[in-house]
Structure 1
Amino acid sequence: MKLPQLIRNDSGLEPFASVITERMNIARQKEAELLKNGSLIDFASGHLWFGLHKANQGWVIRDWAPNATRIYMVGDFNDWQETEDYRLRALGNGDWELILEEDKLRHGQLYAFSVYWIGGNGKRIPAWCKRVVQDDHTKLFSAQVWDHEKDFEWQHPDYIRTDEAPLIYESHIGMAGEEERVHTYNEFREHVLPRIKAAGYNTVQLMAIPEHPYYGSFGYHVSSFFAPSSRFGTPEELKQLIDEAHGMGLSVIIDLVHSHAVKNEEEGLGKYDGTRFQFFHDGPRGEHPAWDSFCFNYGKDEVLHFLLSNIRYWLENFKFDGFRFDGVTSMLYFDHGLGKAFTQYADYFDGGVDQEAVSYFYLANKLIHELKPKALSIAEEVSGMPGLATPIDMGGYGFDYRMAMGVPDFWIKLIKEVPDEHWDMGQLFYELTAKRLDEKVVSYAESHDQALVGDKTLIFRLMDKEMYFSMRKDQPNLIVDRGMALHKMMRLATVTTAGGAYLNFMGNEFGHPEWIDFPREGNGWSYKHARRQWNLADNPDLRYHWLGDFDREMMQWVRQSCLLETPEVVWHFDNKEDQILSYSRGEFLMVFNFNPTRSFTDYGIPLESSKYRILFHTDAGCFGGQDRVDKQMTYYTRPAGSLGSQHYLNLYLPARTGLVLKKQAFKRVR
């Protein structure tokens, strides 16, 4: 039997070939069982049947609630009373339906289900509803009749994501403005999209789009999976945001939370039909011990129908260009990967993997790429599961990328635990480039995770309280100088070693101060830290704009040079004592001096016979540096002895500086 390419690429996986092959076989069997003679796209069509729809000369609403004995549609159209003319009829197999004349519902009216089961009843927001709103006074949620779904006219309906390496700007709509409040889709479209475009990024990642009852959950405790959050505006305003982004050449992806769901019952899926086990596992397997949430049962056909339809809904109805799947590690393992080190291959094949989740990933990624071949599928996964970001036809799970979660953890650990003068360049290069050869990763120095309350952003760890007093250009401060230099160097090192894609959380590119803290009881329900202070980056008297300017030049160079489309990062040299590191990618050479105190004159980097020009560097005065590097020179390698001996590129390397050089056409004189 021919082994999958995944195993042929890595002989270390050969002892586990039977397990790897069996996982894929079970996933294919599940696919055949679900589809019978249909297609995966046809199967993922639940949103076209369930939920509230405008029908011929009327309305129809359908739902799946197998344990229910009676269901009424209640709302402000019948004074929230249970009446027979709004009672759903059972269709069999747990499905329910209500057909109404056109004048029975109007756009904007609020509604819910009153669900009865043996021994109880409760109000429920329909699981498939596409619009949910919260009452400003009572704080209660209701579904809302929405009759504008077909009115939106796309200006860029045929947009297709290019093959460019994703340069991702991770964003949150609500905290994307400066005021202490929740901001809107329209404000993001008008004010933030132009910033992202100008900064050189090509992909926008939107967090917290599916409706979630608690704003402070950052969108990770979802209640209504088909409803874009109304706290930011209307579905049409979200579509306009995506449409205009496409017009700018920006792709838009969202965080997709299929790993778990909020426990809430009235506005969520918790005990939706009176049972815990309708959508989720019953017992301990159905509860996440760290997240206080319910875990989906991926073994149930109806749950797969719900989740796969959700994928198709976002891709087709809103024309999103892909997903960043949240909590993939939690889904993969029965123990959610908690407290496990994953130090050997056997840890991935010891029986602790949830095969039903593996089958779901197979189906989800296959569906995504059948619907949109160029769509992005990114896994937030920390264990390093072999094959996760490997194509299905090679024996993998089909994600295009996984998040390189070890990189930001490494930077934080380095800053917290190791004095500057002891940073090990060999270890640094290894940590930045460690990945499987058959997969691509999204590298990043920090995301929203490092900025949340209780943690610190990189810039705040580097400068701490000095940020409050010494970010003016006329206020010299050695701590701030150190922080500025290292902030640029860490980002330059991260993006130039990135394994196929790069990510930045909004505002971090210019060193947004402090942390992210959403309104909650513990902070007096304050929005002070749930916003972005763009004025800091725009103020010419402050140093923040220097960091933003550097990031812009760096990202535009990465994009224009197609740097990340060149997969190989070639190590050239590192010196532990001097703290010098050099490597190349294509025609570009990167040289770093992380030494905090020592600058070096004519430092030799071993290379083949060649010549270089400096494109840009972190010490430039326009980026807040000391301008100690001459960009105008052309640098030639020189032999150590005879012409056939090792050549060295001799450079002046100021302390705490990173350089990017481009190889020049070179004709050897005979």
Structure 2
Amino acid sequence: MDNKVQVYSLLTAFDIDLFKSGKHFRLFEKLGSHAVTHNGIKGTYFAVWAPSAKSVSVIGNFNFWVEGQHPLNVRWDSSGIWEGFIPAVGHGDLYKYKIHSNINDVKTEKADPYARFCEIPSNTASVVWDGNHKWQDKDWMSYRKNKNGLDKPYSVYELHLGSWKKNLQENRSLTYRELAVDLVQYIKETGFTHVEFMPVMEHPYEPSWGYQLTGYFAPSSRFGSPEDFKYLVDQLHQNDIGVILDWVPSHFPEDAHGLGFFDGSCLYEHPDPKKGYHQDWKSLIFNYGRNEVRAFLISNAIFWLEQYHIDGLRVDAVASMLYLDYSREDGQWEPNIYGGRENLDAISFLKEFNEEVFKNFDDVQTIAEESTAFPMVTKPVYLGGLGFGMKWMMGWMHDTLEFFKKDPIY
């Protein structure tokens, strides 16, 4: 079979218009890798945003990771998207994008930003994935609005999947399917209404607890497949337990296969280090003023709520997003156009994120991890607020822990 790249696209002109304007919030349906049948031939469609590239090739286990064997075609519409159909590539195949940049002839080798599954770290390739899960949580989904309401009991058990419980005989973490037994039983016994998972998205460095993401659309392969994680969520729902995910739109790591310096340019990160580099975490900060980046992040939020039936997103490090001078000394930041310290692009992004989430899912919650006195975090956007449903109060947590340290006489 001739497995050369064929011209093919899932993208319409309307998709491109939405993408350019930052209003396409289901990009996961179009970009990334998708197993399809084209002209009667099974294969995979690939699409990646790399506007500073002079060429993009798909490299993988199906072509010995050789650049140039499967070059993608750049679209004519100045979207910066490269795409193509490769016959005979399918479910389970490994791949990356080899990107040759127009900038200084730099070459990068990147995982797919929209990959649904990744290799087990420390391997870094993306995986073509075409799995299927038959959901059994219809009852929960029909009445979860009553479970998620602000006027309802809400008791959250937060955990890190990798360290919550170990299989001592094999010296490993539990799998998603093992957690579907042990965790469900534990939450039922303790009476919590919700579980909150520290980031399940793929990340290269386990001690980061998942807060340095490289695979925003992929549950970590350390614990099983995407269908295994869906099974865990399904089992929690069938036992009347809601599921909240920690979501990290605040920063991302500099790992070579990740989003940073993607096509030889500052594509996802802000090009000004005063706005694009996080000094505390040695990580990169998203460019919230770039339309395509906003669409990437909001699409990601919609993805987890829609594809994984997630009941809430706890947004990490909101305070670091809101302020231009967050953890910076004088001279390390520049005021906004009004002379203030607020990050206007990030504020605009957070408002749009909340509006889109609640417009599409009126029965979920968004929760801000916000530790400052920033006003109206949980006020609706139409009243001038950020639009979050709840605020995750770090101050209360720290005060409580300090109290626990005191002598019982207190």
Secondary structure in structure 2 of the residue aligned to 1:377: strand
Pick closer, same or farther for the CA change 1:339–1:177 going to 2, 3 Å: farther
Which residue matches 1:306?
Answer: 296
Secondary structure in structure 1 of the residue aligned to 2:159: strand
Which residue matches 1:219?
Answer: 210
**Preserved contact between residue 23 and residue 295 of structure 2 (Cα < 8 Å):** no
Which residue matches 2:246?
Answer: 255
Which residue matches 1:353?
Answer: 342
Ranked by relative contact order (alpha carbons within 8 Å, sequence separation 6 or more), the top structure is 2
Q: Deviations over 1:370-409 (max 9, x none)?
A: 1111211110011121111112232211111112221232
Secondary structure in structure 2 of the residue aligned to 1:141: coil
Matched, 1:81 2:66: yes
Secondary structure in structure 1 of the residue aligned to 2:306: helix
| AA partner of residue 107 (structure 1) | H
Structure with the larger helix share: 1
C-alpha distance in 2 between matches for 1:203 and 1:411: 20
Matched, 1:106 2:95: no
**Preserved contact between residue 355 and residue 387 of structure 2 (Cα < 8 Å):** yes
Pick closer, same or farther for the CA change 1:358–1:36 going to 2, 3 Å: farther
Shift of 1:176: 1.8
Shift of 1:174: 1.3
C-alpha distance in 2 between matches for 1:273 and 1:157: 42
Query: Structure 1 unaligned runs (5+)?
Result: 1-33, 341-348, 416-457, 463-481, 487-595, 597-655, 657-670
Which residue matches 2:33?
Answer: 52
TM (normalized to structure 1)? 0.53
Secondary structure in structure 2 of the residue aligned to 1:305: helix
C-alpha distance in 1 between matches for 2:256 and 2:326: 24
C-alpha distance in 2 between matches for 1:314 and 1:48: 13
Pick the aligned partner of 1:236 from 224, 227, 250.
227
| AA partner of residue 176 (structure 1) | W
**Preserved contact between residue 155 and residue 192 of structure 2 (Cα < 8 Å):** yes
Which has the larger Rg? 1
Which residue matches 1:131?
Answer: 117
Shift of 1:219: 0.7
Shift of 1:72: 0.7
**Preserved contact between residue 367 and residue 390 of structure 2 (Cα < 8 Å):** yes
Pick the aligned partner of 1:141 from 102, 124, 128.
124
**Preserved contact between residue 281 and residue 296 of structure 1 (Cα < 8 Å):** no
Secondary structure in structure 1 of the residue aligned to 2:130: coil
Pick closer, same or farther for the CA change 1:129–1:280 going to 2, 3 Å: farther
Which residue matches 2:308?
Answer: 318
C-alpha distance in 2 between matches for 1:48 and 1:253: 23
**Preserved contact between residue 280 and residue 296 of structure 1 (Cα < 8 Å):** yes
Which residue matches 1:155?
Answer: 136
**Preserved contact between residue 288 and residue 349 of structure 2 (Cα < 8 Å):** yes
Which residue matches 1:617?
Answer: none
Pick the aligned partner of 1:370 from 359, 362, 381.
359
Query: Structure 2 unaligned runs (5+)?
Result: 1-14, 331-337
Secondary structure in structure 1 of the residue aligned to 2:44: strand
Pick closer, same or farther for the CA change 1:142–1:37 going to 2, 3 Å: closer
Which residue matches 1:385?
Answer: 374
**Preserved contact between residue 18 and residue 24 of structure 2 (Cα < 8 Å):** no
Shift of 1:218: 0.7
Which residue matches 2:11?
Answer: none
Shift of 1:98: 1.3
Pick closer, same or farther for the CA change 1:281–1:167 going to 2, 3 Å: farther
Matched, 1:72 2:57: yes
Matches within 5 A, 1:260-271: 260-266=251-257, 268-271=258-261
Secondary structure in structure 2 of the residue aligned to 1:69: strand
Which residue matches 2:162?
Answer: 174
Shift of 1:116: 0.5
Pick closer, same or farther for the CA change 1:284–1:302 going to 2, 3 Å: same
Q: Percent identity?
A: 31
Shift of 1:134: 2.9
Pick closer, same or farther for the CA change 1:390–1:232 going to 2, 3 Å: same
Pick the aligned partner of 1:198 from 168, 189, 197.
189
Secondary structure in structure 2 of the residue aligned to 1:410: helix
Shift of 1:227: 1.0
Pick closer, same or farther for the CA change 1:161–1:199 going to 2, 3 Å: farther
Which residue matches 1:283?
Answer: 273
**Which shows bigger deviation, 161-170 or 220-229?**
161-170
Q: Deviations over 1:241-277 (max 9, x none)?
A: 11111111111010000000011122x1111101134
Shift of 1:186: 1.3
**Preserved contact between residue 276 and residue 282 of structure 1 (Cα < 8 Å):** no
Q: Deviations over 1:36-56 (max 9, x none)?
A: 999x99720111110001223
C-alpha distance in 2 between matches for 1:222 and 1:331: 16
| AA partner of residue 183 (structure 2) | V
Secondary structure in structure 2 of the residue aligned to 1:78: coil
C-alpha distance in 1 between matches for 2:271 and 2:175: 36
Pick closer, same or farther for the CA change 1:259–1:407 going to 2, 3 Å: same
Which residue matches 1:165?
Answer: 153
**Preserved contact between residue 319 and residue 372 of structure 2 (Cα < 8 Å):** yes
Secondary structure in structure 2 of the residue aligned to 1:113: strand
Q: Deviations over 1:345-372 (max 9, x none)?
A: xxxx971001111111111111111111
C-alpha distance in 1 between matches for 2:34 and 2:362: 29
C-alpha distance in 2 between matches for 1:173 and 1:245: 14
**Preserved contact between residue 56 and residue 72 of structure 2 (Cα < 8 Å):** yes
Paired residue total: 370
Pick closer, same or farther for the CA change 1:170–1:278 going to 2, 3 Å: closer
C-alpha distance in 1 between matches for 2:386 and 2:134: 36
C-alpha distance in 1 between matches for 2:18 and 2:282: 40
Shift of 1:109: 1.7
Secondary structure in structure 1 of the residue aligned to 2:305: helix
Matches within 5 A, 1:539-550: none
CA RMSD of aligned residues (A): 2.5
| AA partner of residue 390 (structure 1) | K
Secondary structure in structure 2 of the residue aligned to 1:154: coil
Secondary structure in structure 2 of the residue aligned to 1:56: strand
Pick closer, same or farther for the CA change 1:336–1:140 going to 2, 3 Å: same
C-alpha distance in 1 between matches for 2:57 and 2:206: 29
C-alpha distance in 2 between matches for 1:245 and 1:166: 15
Secondary structure in structure 1 of the residue aligned to 2:125: strand
**Preserved contact between residue 35 and residue 128 of structure 2 (Cα < 8 Å):** no
Shift of 1:185: 1.0
**Preserved contact between residue 252 and residue 322 of structure 1 (Cα < 8 Å):** yes
